[in-house]
Amino acid sequence: MGMKGWVAWHVIADKLNLDAFVSFVSGTVDYILELENGDVDKASKVLWEIGRKMGRRMLTKYAERIGKHAIEFYEFSKTYNFAYYFYTGKSFDKIYVIPEEKKIVYEDYNCPLCKGISLPDEFKGLKFCNSVDGIFTEVCIMRGFEAESWETKCKASGDECCRHELRLKI
């Protein structure tokens, strides 16, 4: 991350205790799984929808403080990496821009959002960090891009990384 990212994280960004946030999300996930009778696909979708609602608020707050937005779809590779750093204090480990598939892939091998979470076997497949994808989706839509993002791997489910795939739908 460059000087802007450092300044944003150390000076501009409001801080939240990450352990408290992960505890809150973990409790929320437990509650959603109870409501959905253990259906990990339905629970993952609920987390995605929560992320969309978060994205609406975050874009407004981000726009007020930073004032920069992606103009072209593939600029989201940098914009979302910066936003991820801004909110978590960590950049994605790998980012792939794949124009022929109209997608951007983000991978985090030490995801702070599900760090220390290991889902029991009956809940493997739950996309614990899917709210990130809801945020990505909502921000794209609000910026005029017909795109959708989904978590395709999650460390909490035993995968080697959390992987988020943002696809342009056109």
Its domain, for residue 120, covers 3-168
* Spatial strand order in the sheet of 94-98: 94-98, 103-108, 162-168, 147-153
pTM: 0.86
pLDDT tens per residue across all 170 residues of the chain: 566 655 655 555 665 677 787 788 889 999 999 999 999 999 999 999 999 999 888 887 766 666 566 789 999 999 899 888 888 889 999 999 999 999 999 999 999 999 999 999 999 999 999 999 999 999 999 989 999 999 999 999 999 999 999 999 97
Question: What's 118's domain CATH number?
Answer: 3.30.1380.20
Q: For position 99, what pLDDT does the model report?
A: 97
Q: In angstroms, rounded to a whole number, what is the distance separating the alpha carbons of residues 49 and 112?
A: 20
- Closest C-alpha among 74, 106, 110, 89 to residue 1: 89
Q: Domain tally for the chain?
A: 1
